[in-house]
Amino acid sequence: NAGVMQNPRHLVRRRGQEARLRCSPMKGHSHVYWYRQLPEEGLKFMVYLQKENIIDESGMPKERFSAEFPKEGPSILRIQQVVRGDSAAYFCASSPPGLGANYGYTFGSGTRLTVV
Amino acid sequence: SQQGEEDPQALSIQEGENATMNCSYKTSINNLQWYRQNSGRGLVHLILIRSNEREKHSGRLRVTLDTSKKSSSLLITASRAADTASYFCATDATGGGSNYKLTFGKGTLLTVNP
pLDDT digits (tens, 9 = 90+) for B28-83: 888 999 999 998 888 999 999 999 999 999 999 999 999 999 999 999 999 999 99
| Cβ contact B106–A40 (<8 Å) | yes
Q: How close, in Å, is residue B66 to chain A by CA atoms?
A: 18
pLDDT digits (tens, 9 = 90+) for A52-82: 999 999 999 999 999 999 999 999 999 999 9
Q: Which residues numbered 33-52 in B keep a CB inside 8 Å of some CB on A?
A: 33, 35, 40-45, 48, 50
Cβ contacts of B102 on chain A, cutoff 8 Å: 35, 43, 45, 105
The whole-number pLDDT of residue B4 equals 65
Cβ B108 vs Cβ B87: under 8 Å? yes
What pLDDT sits at residue B2? 35
| Confidence at residue B1, expressed as pLDDT on a 0 to 100 scale | 31
User: Could you tell me which chain A residue has the CA closest to the CA of B107?
Assistant: A42
Per the CB < 8 A criterion, the answer to whether A34 and A90 are in contact is yes
Nearest to A41 among B31, B33, B106 (CB): B106
Bridge-based pairing of strands B31-37 and A31-37 is unpaired
Between CA B83 and CA B66, with CA B12 as vertex, the angle to 5 degrees is 75
Contacts 24+ apart (CB under 8 A), B65-69: B65/B32, B67/B28, B67/B29, B69/B24
Residue B63 near chain A (CB below 8 Å): no
Chain B residues with CB under 8 Å of A105 CB are 33, 45, 102
Closest CB to B42: pick one of A59, A102, A108: A108
The per-type count for chain A, helices as H runs and strands as E runs, is 1, 11
A42, A56, A100 member nearest B106 (Cβ): A42
- Determine contact: B57 vs chain A, CB below 8 A: no
A101 secondary structure, DSSP code: H
**pLDDT level of residue B3 (50, 70, 90 thresholds):** low
Between B5 and B78, name the one with better pLDDT: B78
